[in-house]
Copies of this chain bind each other. A is one copy, B any other.
Amino acid sequence: MTKSDLHSNHCPTQSDHLCMPEEARKRARHRLSIARGHLESIVKMLDAEDVYCVDVLRQIRAVQGALSGASDVVLRGHLEAHVATAAERGDTVEMVDELMEALRYR
């Protein structure tokens, strides 16, 4: 990876800022849209007086799985574009502190 490749990790509009890689952004957006639709359907399911608890638990679990999947897409993009290049930029400690904090209670 050359110095100019590194610059592509920076935002198109703000050169002093790290940006999410475009492919990860689009894939995460797509997955989160689907999870939102699923969550919308659970809210409607709860309008029915005869809904059963365990069916709701299962549906919530499915949405949580979808969110974990979206989170993995974002994490992978972040590791590849920003964490793997930290030693080159010289901000390893800051990048790792920030990531460990975001992964806590995962």
**Nearest Cβ on chain B to A94's Cβ, whole angstroms:** 10
Task: List, in ascending order, chain B residues with CB within 8 A of A13's CB.
Answer: 49-50
Which residues from chain A sit less than 8 Å from chain B, CB to CB? Answer: 1, 6, 11-14, 17-20, 22, 24-25, 28-29, 32-33, 35-36, 39-40, 42-43, 46-47, 49-54, 56-58, 60-61, 63-65, 67-68, 70-72, 74-88, 90, 92-93, 95-96, 98-100, 102-106
The 8 Å CB contact of A60, one of B46, B60, B70, is B70
- Tell me the smallest distance from the CB of A84 to a CB of chain B, in Å: 4
Query: How many monomers of this chain does the complex have?
Result: 4
Give the complex CA separation of A64 and B100 in angstroms.
Answer: 17
CA distance A29 to B81 in the complex (A): 31
**Inter-chain contact B64/A64, CB cutoff 8 Å:** yes
List of B residues within 8 angstroms of A85 by Cβ? 87
Query: What are 8 sample pairs from A and B whose C-beta atoms fall under 8 A apart?
Result: A11-B49, A19-B51, A24-B53, A32-B46, A36-B36, A36-B40, A39-B39, A75-B100
